[in-house]
Amino acid sequence: MTNILNFDSDVPASTPSVELSPPSASMLAGGLAVEDWLSRDVGHLAESTPANQAASVGLMLRLWLPQMPGQPLQAKADALGHPVKIGNEWATALTDEQILAIESEAVQSAQEIIELIEGLPQILIRHPDSAGGVALSLLTQRDDIQSVIRVLRVLGDTGYLKRAAAEIDRAASAQLTAINECLRHVSPQEDVRRLWAAASQEPHHWWGVCAMNNMMKSQETK
């Protein structure tokens, strides 16, 4: 089993207790509309632990698009700059203790994601009915890690977490057949708009594209 917690690092094995106050989705969007799925996910993350709170900001920076029909491109470009400005200001105001708490929790989450990926073949055998939900959960958690990386990138301090993310991706590559099979068990009622947005806006990342391709294939065969 891959153990990324053995990397040489100053990141502690447990998450320090800190308080964060991330800006809301509405604040980051400058009062413009935020899609309901994005507002929901940002809100849930913002009410959680330090890494998830950082992810709430990173998620908006990565996947929010202004809904401004009929407006000139410059107006849309200016709107896109607002969450970047607010998010960057929030990130640069973080203390060393807060940054350490965010990174240590995110690395621990990465380890849990790897263990989940490596256990997918057994889940398919023993609990096939839950395989789809498990797969969606791990893809969403990988997306959370990317959102944390987006915030820490403002500080120029993503090296250790990016290495942890690379280990997730390596584990996923080794278990791609199992991931694809699990995704074919996803219920049509599942809300996958976040992963579809990730696939559309960041097609170089595997998790959104993987979800979209497999679910489209699944719908075609039904």
pLDDT tens across 136-182, in order? 999 999 999 999 999 999 998 778 899 999 999 999 999 999 999 99
Q: Could you write out the three-class secondary structure of the chain?
A: CCCHHHCCCCCCCCCCCCCCCCCCHHHHCCCCCCCHHHHHHHHHHHCCCHHHHHHHHHHHHHHCCCCCCCCCHHHHHHHHHHHHHHHHHHHHCCCHHHHHHHHHHHHHHHHHHHHHHHCHHHHHHHCHHHHHHHHHHHHHHHHHHHHHHHHHHCCCCCHHHHHHHHHHHHHHHHCHHHHHHHHCCCCCCCCCHHHHHHHHHCCCCHHHHHHHHHHHHHHHCC
pLDDT tens across 190-209, in order? 999 999 999 999 999 999 99
Per-residue model confidence (pLDDT) at position 4: 60
pTM confidence score: 0.89
- Provide the pLDDT confidence category of residue 8 given band limits of 50, 70 and 90: very low
